[in-house]
Amino acid sequence: MKGRQAVFEEAIQEAPVIAAVKNDMGLAHALRSECAAVFILYGTILDIGQIVKRIRAAGKLAFVHADLIEGLSNRGEIAVDFLAEATKADGIISTRPNLIHHAKELGLITVQRFFLLDSISFENVVRQSSHADVIDILPGAMPDVIRRLSQRVTQPLIASGLLTDKRDVCGALAAGAVAVSTTSEELWEA
């Protein structure tokens, strides 16, 4: 039986555009899309389990952005415990290293999100990403930075944010990203 990480890698190899959803309308479209994975960027402690259930029922991988779920966002490791046990999410997304470390201990696929603002934040990605399974960098429309970063880290890279057209998607993938994550529904079919 394949582990979660292998299933994820196979899924994004076949469909490298990840649907990032920020509301129920986007979720409905993502469920009909060809995307194999969905990043959940909204929800509350009351509805996140149902959102994950719908995604998994559609045969897609569900990743919860733990920092954005109302009622969980400032709860620390207990929030990760809840997501693992109560929602059965495939993985989490977070900017917080302690949550990434704990989620990995629980067997979740971990996606650590980094905002690249300057050379200092670039070096922080290299230094702080050792526990994550996957690194998600924002903004994603920076092929030269993606290329340089992919040569400095061992984990797969996802490019997210400010991807506005198919050219941005292709540029990120050609530069070394294994996938892109976008809320742009038009790009989910790119």
Q: What is the CATH number of the domain that holds 41?
A: 3.20.20.70
Q: What is the pTM of this model?
A: 0.96
Q: Which residues of 152-174 are buried (b: 16+ CB within 10 A; e: fewer)?
A: ebebbbbbbbebeeeebbebbbe
Cα–Cα dist 185/26, whole Å: 7
Cα–Cα dist 79/103, whole Å: 10
pLDDT of the chain along its 190 residues, tens only? 578 889 999 999 999 999 999 999 999 999 999 999 999 999 999 999 999 999 999 999 999 999 999 999 888 999 999 999 999 999 999 999 999 999 999 999 999 999 999 999 999 999 988 789 999 999 999 999 999 999 999 999 999 999 999 999 999 999 999 999 999 999 998 6
* Phi, psi for residue 140 in degrees, rounded to 5: -90, -10
Task: Please tell me the predicted confidence (pLDDT) of residue 1.
Answer: 57
Cα–Cα dist 41/20, whole Å: 7
Number of domains, the chain? 1
- Amino acid occupying residue 68: L
Task: Report the 10 Å Cβ neighbour count for 78.
Answer: 10
State yes or no: cis peptide before 139, omega within 30 of 0.
yes
Per the structure, the complete domain to which residue 59 belongs is given by: 4-189
Task: Please tell me the predicted confidence (pLDDT) of residue 74.
Answer: 84
